[in-house]
Amino acid sequence: MKRAAILTILVLLLCAMTAQGIPIPGIQGRCKCILTTTKRFDPNIIRNVKYIPRGPHCVTTEIIITMKNGMKVCMNPNTKWMKTFIKATKATRMQK
């Protein structure tokens, strides 16, 4: 009887230890951008640019642009104009 109880406790502890590494959907382990666009936008209609480097949550770098009308667009970070835009944005932030 004691052997069965000890075995049960060990199995429960093993399950608890492995469950700690499982990502919770919506919090981590998930990219925010499913589809990206290469379309170029006028900088005057952009309110905010969110740059999310790749990491454990997502294997790709994500760039989310929020327009002045509230619409959010996921950009392809590998396009030439987006790389230039990111450099210019970072340079502007460093000057402030």
Q: Assess if residue 17 is contained within a domain.
A: no
Cβ-Cβ contacts under 8 Å for 13 (sequence gap 6 or more): none
Q: Assess if residue 78 is contained within a domain.
A: yes
Structural domain count of the chain: 1
Inter-residue contact 15 to 47 (CB < 8 Å): no
Tens digits of pLDDT across the chain (96 residues):
687 777 777 666 555 544 444 444 444 568 888 899 998 888 899 898 898 898 888 888 899 999 999 999 999 989 998 888 878 877 777 776
The domain that holds 89 is classified in CATH as 2.40.50.40
pTM, full prediction: 0.61
Q: Assess if residue 4 is contained within a domain.
A: no
Q: Assess if residue 8 is contained within a domain.
A: no
Q: What residues make up the domain containing 66?
A: 25-95
